[in-house]
Structure 1
Amino acid sequence: MHTDRKKNSPRQGWGRELRATLALAWPLALTNLSQIALVLTDTFFLGQLGEVPLAAATLGGNLYFIAMALPFGLGFAASAMLAQERGRVAGHVREMRRTVRQASWAMLPTFAVLALALWHTGPILRATGQEPELAAAAELYNRALLWGMLPFYGFLLLRGFLAALERPAPALWVAAGGIGLNAALDYALVAGGLGFPSLGTLGAGMASALSNLGMFLALALWVRLDHRLRRFRLAGRFWRTDPQRMREIIVLGLPIAGSMLLEIGIFSATALVMGWFGSSAVAAHAVALQVAGACFMVPMGIGQAATARVGLAAGAADGEAVRRAGWTAIGLSAGCMAVTATLLLAAPESIAALFLAPELVATRELAGTLLMVAGLFQLADGVQAVAAGALRGLRDTRLPMLFAALGYWGLGLPIGLGLGFEAGLGPRGIWIGLACGLGSVAVLMTLRWAALANPNAIALREAQVSPN
């Protein structure tokens, strides 16, 4: 009896949850880091060619990631549903297969629209006041990169499926291979190695698109050949539709996509604003954004783990486990981001120097200044990302979208523009505005989680069954 009480004590429950979250989060975080490593690799090779190719790829990449908000939203919605379906246990193989199938079909109709927009990157950027040379180079980048969109979505969907099964390692190994493939392709197509001509931004876009295709095919093959995963038969009767389930994915996924669009959009908008300060400011912004983005991949992975852990507990109607899962993930993310904040504040210019040619002294100094600001908002960025992931595990997506609109666009952008132009702080003021926006969203997301993360509220939500 004494042993049972010890096993089920609150301290043991929190300890088990921390170990389970870590086991799931670190491969997801490393997989996310491998994704950003593709962009960082492009940034490294383009940075050696000069400011214009680097700035052009940044502007084009911003539009690309705006377009990717919808695939991310649908993929994360599917991940939350898959976790809850597995948590219910009974019939989860059939239910999870149907969710993967319908999530795949949900993406296909939108691809043509997104691809058409990216194909006309040049006119879009020129309409925002960007230099014609930057707009033309960015268009070349996106016309190659857009062909990697569907393969990346497929990889994202399969990764969410594996996360719901608490088997994230295969996606990590495949993504690690993708980094090597992308580096080799960048060396050949951007740097002009191995006898290939240097294609500049076009070559960087081709390298990333081919790497995304390779990662999707490799992970799909892994799922197909693994004897423990084969029973799901994800490709079985793939042509069959389930309108009700597809509607559920879309209803849940659109607010997630909206939240991501608001967040991605604010960083993209700041990139366009940086263009008004000149190509040097855009290049410095590019470096700072890539480094901050790499740091963000850690809490993003913890947030994905939170979605899975909270979803599993919610599917099993275990309110106490739901509460433990969410707060454990939030605390873990806060600790990790405190470390990254220390690193960014301690050596900002040294980090910036890794991505810029030695002669770009002024650009390196500006990038270092922006990285110091990024260090200040690391904690807020980590907390809001994981709180949002935990809320997705409860299928709570609409209010978080409104929080993102208020924080990023209602507060962050106006403050940044005021400090950047009216107060004369320039690019640094724009980034201080970003920090204010992230801080407000973090507070709102955490308060929302605290309101929902109690057994009575969770039991009521599960009794209602329907998604948010």
Structure 2
Amino acid sequence: MDAITRAAGDNAWAAEARATLALAWPLALTNLSQHALALTDAMILGWLSTEALAAATLGANLYWAVMAAPLGTALAATPLLAQARGAGRLPGGRGWVRQMRRGARSALWASLAMLLPSMVLLWFAEAVLLAMGQEPRLAALAGRYVRALMWGLPLFCAFVVLRGFLAAMERPAPALWIALAGILVNAALCALLTFGAFGWPGLGIRGAGIASTLANALMVLGLLGLMARDRVLGRFRLLGRFWRPDRAKLAEVTRIGLPISGTMLLEIGVFSAAAIAMGWFGATAVAAHAIALQVAAMTFMVPMGIAQAATARVGLFAGEGRGREAARAGWVAVALGAGFMAAMAMLLLAGAHRIAWAFLDAADPQAAPAAALGAVLLTIAGIFQLADGVQAVAAGALRGLKDTRVPMLLAALGYWGLGMPIGVGLAAGAGLGPPGIWVGLAAGLGAVALLMLRRWRRLSAA
């Protein structure tokens, strides 16, 4: 009997791994394709000039920090909708379609409410960067880039809400196909608008921002079109009577979403602060940081997809009141995320120098020092890959339980209580320069990973 019970338990873990992977891989590819938009901008602007790459990095870091508030409320859609669908699968469960529709609309409303102050701040990006001590030339270029990029922010948040709805429905494929198409559109538009072609004058760094905004618009419209044509998804009518806000659901989205926004702001903010600190060491340091950050962010897209799958799987089981299955879903996701990031760590450690040169034009006189420093930073990024993946997936599993406030506090302690002070101390106080900042980032990520795992272990065992 013990052998039979053990075999059944093994089969349950294997089945959960298959279910998580089936949901995670389209989400991960969607994340990768969305990150490829930023990566395409970085590579094309790196070919334009090292200065353009550095300016776009400063602007993009400010953009991502400011967008944390609306994006966090958009991400609140996934646990809210997953638990609503899970409750609808209980015997006698009714009204779950309406609950999911209310949740999706409220997440859109909450994101829109957060967007106005974010976009006002982005409009004055140049002044903000100057106040942070950046070089005037880089701040001016970054401001030009952000003013073109910022108009895609509402569209990106809408795409995130729709993607969360599809994850809760365990139908992630439409978002994947649309995002993959978005890569091709953005790459073509970015090259055309940045450099010009067929008599079209190049717009330089502003062209890259316009291209990303247009790509986001086409992605949202394409996803809405695919969902409307689907027999199952179309019946939800997510945008029907959108002008009527739901106060009760708005309050719930805000309660779940604001701590997610806070956590994102803390994480994005620490990397943005690192970019600002890199600006103290000159354009070469900022360009090297941009290379390492783009690569580390790209590998992070896979555990982020696994984390989104964990939120949906844990939320479905939690909505049904199946605590044991919810715990299993979370631990399987953590193991999958750790395994992938361990492989990425080996890849970065082995190929740091070759990866760094892929972003630079050998004819640029600043390319060689930027590549050398970029390789050092990529090596440090390889060391913290495992911690980065584990903290992301554990946080995703906790969101499935609608646990977002305490993880925000843990992120504050790890990133800002430990990571940033260590980084600045090593860079400026100990004289390590830019590598010291990345050592601090690694220390902060390691601390957050341990704290998130401890929190998940306690709640999943309850």
Q: TM-score range by the shorter chain?
A: over 0.9
- TM-score, normalization: structure 2? 0.96
Indicate the SS of the match to 1:30.
helix
Higher deviation after alignment, 232-241 or 349-358: 232-241
2:70 aligned with 1:71 = yes
Aligned counterparts of 1:236 and 1:7: Cα–Cα separation in 2: 49
Q: How does 1:195-210 map to 2 (within 5 A)?
A: 195-210=199-214
C-alpha contact (below 8 Å) 1:419/1:430 kept by paired residues: yes
- The corresponding residue for 1:248 is 252
2:348 to 344, 356, 360: 344
2:402 aligned with 1:410 = no
Aligned counterparts of 2:243 and 2:5: Cα–Cα separation in 1: 51
Aligned counterparts of 1:152 and 1:390: Cα–Cα separation in 2: 23
Indicate the SS of the match to 2:244.
coil
- The corresponding residue for 1:81 is 80
Output the amino acid matched with 1:43. A
Aligned counterparts of 2:112 and 2:267: Cα–Cα separation in 1: 24
Aligned counterparts of 2:27 and 2:81: Cα–Cα separation in 1: 16
Structure 1 stretches lacking a partner, 5+ long: 458-468
Aligned counterparts of 1:323 and 1:84: Cα–Cα separation in 2: 15
2:385 aligned with 1:381 = no
C-alpha contact (below 8 Å) 1:6/1:12 kept by paired residues: no
Aligned counterparts of 1:29 and 1:65: Cα–Cα separation in 2: 19
Indicate the SS of the match to 1:9.
helix
Output the amino acid matched with 1:49. L
- The corresponding residue for 2:134 is 130
2:31 aligned with 1:32 = yes
1:94 to 94, 98, 114: 98
Aligned counterparts of 1:7 and 1:240: Cα–Cα separation in 2: 52
Aligned counterparts of 1:299 and 1:156: Cα–Cα separation in 2: 17
- TM-score, normalization: structure 1? 0.95
- Post-superposition CA distance 1:56-112 (Å, at most 9, x none): 100000111011111221122111100000101122111000111111111222222
Aligned counterparts of 1:198 and 1:366: Cα–Cα separation in 2: 30
C-alpha contact (below 8 Å) 2:70/2:114 kept by paired residues: no
Q: How does 1:173-192 map to 2 (within 5 A)?
A: 173-192=177-196
Output the amino acid matched with 1:418. G
2:442 aligned with 1:443 = no
- Post-superposition CA distance 1:14-39 (Å, at most 9, x none): 01100000000000000000111000
- The corresponding residue for 2:43 is 44
The CA deviation at 1:372 is 0.2
Indicate the SS of the match to 2:197.
coil
- The corresponding residue for 2:176 is 172
- The corresponding residue for 1:466 is none
Output the amino acid matched with 2:251. R
- The corresponding residue for 2:427 is 420
Higher deviation after alignment, 281-290 or 70-79: 70-79
Aligned counterparts of 1:382 and 1:263: Cα–Cα separation in 2: 13
The CA deviation at 1:402 is 0.6
C-alpha contact (below 8 Å) 1:80/1:311 kept by paired residues: yes
The CA deviation at 1:199 is 1.2
Indicate the SS of the match to 2:239.
coil
Indicate the SS of the match to 2:48.
coil
Q: Percent identity?
A: 58
C-alpha contact (below 8 Å) 1:45/1:191 kept by paired residues: no
Aligned counterparts of 1:194 and 1:300: Cα–Cα separation in 2: 40
Output the amino acid matched with 2:390. V
The CA deviation at 1:7 is 11
- The corresponding residue for 1:285 is 289
C-alpha contact (below 8 Å) 2:334/2:390 kept by paired residues: yes
RMSD of aligned alpha carbons? 1.2
Output the amino acid matched with 1:349. H
Aligned counterparts of 1:405 and 1:196: Cα–Cα separation in 2: 47
The CA deviation at 1:293 is 0.3
C-alpha contact (below 8 Å) 2:74/2:110 kept by paired residues: no
Indicate the SS of the match to 1:190.
helix
- The corresponding residue for 2:276 is 272
Indicate the SS of the match to 2:76.
helix
Aligned counterparts of 1:174 and 1:242: Cα–Cα separation in 2: 29
- The corresponding residue for 1:460 is none
1:226–1:335 Cα change, 3 Å? same
- The corresponding residue for 1:237 is 241
Total equivalences in the alignment: 452
- The corresponding residue for 1:313 is 317
The CA deviation at 1:239 is 1.9
C-alpha contact (below 8 Å) 1:21/1:306 kept by paired residues: yes
Aligned counterparts of 1:13 and 1:225: Cα–Cα separation in 2: 35
- Post-superposition CA distance 1:296-325 (Å, at most 9, x none): 001000000000000000000001101100
Structure 2 stretches lacking a partner, 5+ long: none
2:460 aligned with 1:453 = yes
Q: Which runs of 4+ in 1 moved over 4 A?
A: 5-8
The CA deviation at 1:232 is 0.8
Aligned counterparts of 2:87 and 2:243: Cα–Cα separation in 1: 26
